[in-house]
Amino acid sequence: MAAFSYICDSVAVITMSNPPVNALSSALIRAVQKAVEEAIGDFAVEAIVIRGDKGKFSAGADIREFNRLERGPPLVSLIDLIEDSKKPVVAAIEGVALGGGLELALGCHYRIAHAQAYVGLPEVLLGLVPAAGGALRLPRLIGISATLSMITTGKYVQAREALKLGIVDKVVGENTVDEAIQLAKKVIGQPLGSRQLSTLPVQCPPNVEAFLDEAMVKVKKQFRGAQSPLACVEVLRAAVQLPYLEGKKKERELFQFLYTTDQTRAQQYAFFAEREVAKWTLPSGASWKTASPQPIRTAAVIGLGTMGRSIVTSLAKAKIPVIALEQDKKQLDIGSKAVMSLLDREILKMEQLGHTEFTNSLGPVQFTLDYGKLRDVDIVIEAVFENMALKKEIFRHLSGICKPEAFLCTNTSGLDIDEMASVTNRPQMVIGTHFFSPAHIMKLLEVVHGHYTSSTTISTAMRLAKMLGKVGVLVGNCPSFVGNRLMRLYVEQAVFLVEEGSKPEEIDRALEDFGLAMGPFRMMDLAGLDIGWKARTEIGLTGPKLPIGTPARQRGSKRYSPLPDILCEKGRFGQKSGQGWYKYEKSGGRNAMPDPWLYNFLSEYQRIHNLKTHYVTQEEIIERCLYVLINEGFKVLEDGIASGPEDIDVIYNNGYGWPKYTGGPMYYASIVGLPVVLTKLEKYYGANPDIPDLKPSSFLKKLVSKGNPPLKEWRSHLGFQSSML
Ligand code: NAD
């Protein structure tokens, strides 16, 4: 566990060992405590170094003991013991010092970090606040402002930035432990008062109360509805206003309060769900455990439009050499400039954070028009227009050019993977890698498994997600896959509500107040209304292919709203044209303003179609938009397109701006209670029988009939015979 392992010229080195990340389990904390006590009591020891085994200091609390956390981490007394030691204690930080790991390091008198190490207090991401003095010691070391930014976002800080901020005393390129021993020897006998952080005053800006009030307002806005970032500001207030020991009490109170809330439980669920989805399994028995990914040493991207350019950037950031291919010289020039500018921005960002080595560690990007250059790459990601004929032509072509071991991936938003695979000479090596825009920033990768896709191909695509720092979620092949399939119904419901008398800004506000990053109308305006319009025109839902005599507001037996089509016919494409559901200060403007023109247009539309409007409450907005999405989630499970509710939640939390503190749409449904969701869907479907998507899914009904089992049992009620995975 932890050993007071050796004494090197009067320096005791204590090694924390709890694989794989030296999480601070109760047993490890006890062992370290014992080792520190021994070292303090040993006359031969004059200084102490604490390090983590296998190149990792510590990733913090042991998540396996999460359900026991409410008893309070005994870590606090260990940290106090270290800080109070008369013998200097140096933390040798390799790998990570996160959460409790960093709090422990802050209790040490000195900190040395390896250049590749990260530090951070990510408790907020689990709906908590740091509870072992981290939020009280850190502002005494680096000031209120920098601490605020770290603890409210939970962001990790790389060693060089940590040095700049003052969190660590020195950064080394190698031999971190040896350097720590040297430092420990050097400071033997020196006074430690100024190194005991809890005894120091908090570093405050001149008008700290006003600063904290302002911070509270900003944090409320930034993390709409989430309570733990607000609690982080409260801890900082306690750090400023109260002596250290009283601040500690306040920190504890806030932690204990948060620990019992629904939000924290939801965030912890979301955290574990992300780990769970990496462990994919197919009904055939193939799984993440048995399938072996193939190495990806080089990649190619075809098409350098909105997606292709950011996919190239994402690969380069992951140090994977990329060949980027376009259809003609003009597009290649535009695309290559765009990629270079994205890469420059990434480099600048990293340099501002002090990572000078980053520039040299980007994967090289080669631009070309020549397919022949793709002969030796390990993986190709196609990102051309959303057009099946074109995609098939490209896949056929790639089949003849790429080496037989190369994987062929498509970034399609929802076209049939099998149809593309069927034109290749390696259908088992074809897979969907559905990135989200912008691909170098968004964390989600929907990995779409086709009928022929092999487990090696899945495993390789999931590994790619990891290499790119993304969360890969394996889904089955159906139109629009999981994320967009659910999203389409949510957006459609919002448009129906506008027909029924609500306003875009009312709907956006209701859903943003619920916690979504952006309401549906602002989202449509941002993405461009013309994209959906083109797709609907292509499949004949609108435009010249629509059979003459089709009722304006009906397709088949289903209700249809032509509102978005009409807006496009009027040139209102959203932000890019300066007007859409909102108006903007200029084309490309971002400031959405309600548009009186739209109100007149909607009144006229309602008059022409003889629509009876009603007052749409906030409750109806939330329930209709979210429950239709959740209902489709149950259908996705029933169809075997996602293997469990966790997969859907991870997709929404990471790709669609869903508030993590509600856990994701399926978890949220489980908290609301499935009988409630069912009753409401029945009510809304009863009132709108022309919207069949509101009709409760049979899987939802089944779960209610089984007595509303907890979410973790839902999978056991699914029949596997229908699985598309
Ligand atoms: P885009 O129109 O911005 O770019 C497509 C690019 O492909 C263009 O630069 C075009 O010149 C190039 N291209 C066309 N034919 C080619 C050929 N034969 N060889 C090489 N290059 C060719 O499109 P986009 O928005 O980047 O979308 C690309 C794909 O990604 C589509 O399948 C789309 O559905 C999907 N997608 C888009 C988004 C998004 O938010 N835009 C999100 C996820 C997935």
- The pLDDT tens digits of the residues spanning 614-626 come to 999 999 999 999 9
Cα(376) to ligand 1 centroid in Å equals 23
- CATH 3.90.226.10 matches 2-259: yes
Q: What is the pLDDT of residues 670-700, one digit of tens each?
A: 999 999 999 999 999 999 999 999 999 999 9
Question: What DSSP string describes 233-263?
Answer: HHHHHHHHHS-HHHHHHHHHHHHHHHHTSHH
Angle at 243 (CA atoms; ends 239, 246), nearest 5 degrees: 85
Q: Which two tokens stand for residue 79?
A: 């940290």
Q: What is the mean pLDDT of residues 412-416?
A: 95
Q: How confident is the model at residue 713 (pLDDT cuts 50, 70, 90)?
A: very high
* Summary mean pLDDT of the chain: 94
334 C-alpha to ligand 1 centroid (Å):
13
Ligand 1, atom 16: closest residue by C-alpha: 327
Distance CA 292, CA 362 (A): 26
Question: What CA–CA distance (Å, rounded) separates 577 from 587?
Answer: 5
Q: Please report, as a single letter, which amino acid is at residue 649.
A: D
In this structure, the residue with its CA closest to atom 19 of ligand 1 is 327
Any residues with CB less than 8 A from the CB of 677 and at least 6 apart, and which? 627, 630, 631, 669, 700
| Closest CA to ligand 1's atom 25 | 306
Please tell me if the CB atom of residue 305 comes closer than 6 angstroms to any atom of ligand 1: yes
Of ligand 1's atoms, which has the minimum distance to the CA of residue 412?
Answer: 32
Does the Cβ of 263 fall within 6 Å of ligand 1?
A: no
Q: What is the pLDDT of residues 328-338, one digit of tens each?
A: 999 999 999 99
For residue 275, give the nearest of 473, 494, 57, 49 by alpha carbon: 473
Residue 67 has pLDDT above 80, yes or no: no
374 ligand 1 Cβ < 6 A: no
Q: Does the beta carbon of 24 lie inside 6 Å of ligand 1?
A: no
Closest residue by CA, ligand 1 atom 12:
303
Tell me, using a 6 A CB cutoff, whether residue 409 lines ligand 1: no
Q: Which two three-digit tokens encode residue 527?
A: 């993405």
Averaged pLDDT, 485-492: 98
The number of the ligand 1 atom at minimal distance from the alpha carbon of 387 is: 32
The CA 358 to ligand 1 mean position distance, Å, reads: 28
pLDDT band at 74 (very low <50, low <70, confident <90, very high): confident
**pLDDT tier, 288 (very low <50, low <70, confident <90, very high otherwise):** very high
> What pLDDT does 71 receive?
53
Position 357 pLDDT exceeds 60: no
Nearest Cα to 77, choosing from 44, 36, 39, 117? Answer: 36
Question: What's the chain's length in residues?
Answer: 725
Distance CA(138)–CA(145), nearest Å, equals 10
Token pair listed for 487: 């999203």
* H/E run at residue 90: strand 89-93
Q: Which atom of ligand 1 is nearest to the CA of 334?
A: 9
What 3-state DSSP class applies to 440?
Answer: coil
What is the H or E stretch that residue 120 is in?
Answer: strand 118-120
Cα–Cα distance measured from residue 88 to residue 10, given in angstroms and rounded to the nearest whole number: 12
CATH code assigned to 299-482: 3.40.50.720
The catalytic residue positions are 103, 123
- Rounded distance from Cα 309 to ligand 1 centre (Å): 9
The angle subtended at Cα 716 by Cα 712 and Cα 722, nearest 5°, is: 125
Over range 581-606, report the average pLDDT.
97
Q: Please say if the pLDDT value at position 356 is more than 60.
A: no
- Min mean pLDDT across 68-72, 103-107, 160-164 is at 68-72
Q: Are 110 and 67 in contact (CB under 8 A)?
A: no
- pLDDT tier, 354 (very low <50, low <70, confident <90, very high otherwise): low
Q: With cut-offs at 50, 70 and 90, classify the pLDDT of residue 64.
A: confident
Give the pLDDT confidence of 75-126 residue by residue, as tens digits.
999 999 999 999 999 999 999 999 999 999 999 999 999 999 999 999 999 9
- Is the pLDDT reported for residue 721 higher than 60? no
Q: Looking at residues 263-284, what average pLDDT do you find?
A: 93
- Tell me how far the alpha carbon of residue 429 is from its chain's centroid: 27
Ranges 277-291, 304-318, 426-440: which has the least confidence: 277-291
pLDDT band at 350 (very low <50, low <70, confident <90, very high): confident
Q: Which atom, in ligand 1's list, is nearest to the CA of 394?
A: 18
Ligand 1 atom with least separation from CA of 386: 32
Contact of 460 with 293, CB cutoff 8 Å: yes
CA 383 / ligand 1 centre spacing (Å) = 5
pLDDT-based confidence at residue 363 (cuts at 50, 70, 90): confident
**Bridge partners, residue 325, by sequence:** 302, 368
Strand partners, 50: 14, 91
* Average of per-residue pLDDT across 211-221: 95
* Whole-number pLDDT of residue 724: 76
Q: What pLDDT score does 355 carry?
A: 60
Contact indicator for 447, 432 with CB cutoff of 8 Å: yes
In CATH, 520-600 is 1.10.150.120: no
The whole-number average pLDDT for the span 537-549 is 94
Tokens 């380069």 appear where? 316
336 lines ligand 1 (CB under 6 A): no
Each domain of the chain, given as residue ranges in start order, spans 2-259, 299-482, 520-600
3-state SS, 184-231, equals HHHCCCCCCHHHCHHHCCCCCCCCHHHHHHHHHHHHHHHCCCCCHHHH
Q: For residue 359, name the pLDDT band (cuts at 50, 70, 90).
A: low
Work out whether strand 2-8 and strand 11-16 pair parallel, antiparallel, or are unpaired.
antiparallel
**Ligand 1 mean position, distance from CA 571 (Å):** 22
Question: pLDDT tens for residues 297-345?
Answer: 999 999 999 999 999 999 999 999 999 999 999 999 999 999 999 999 9
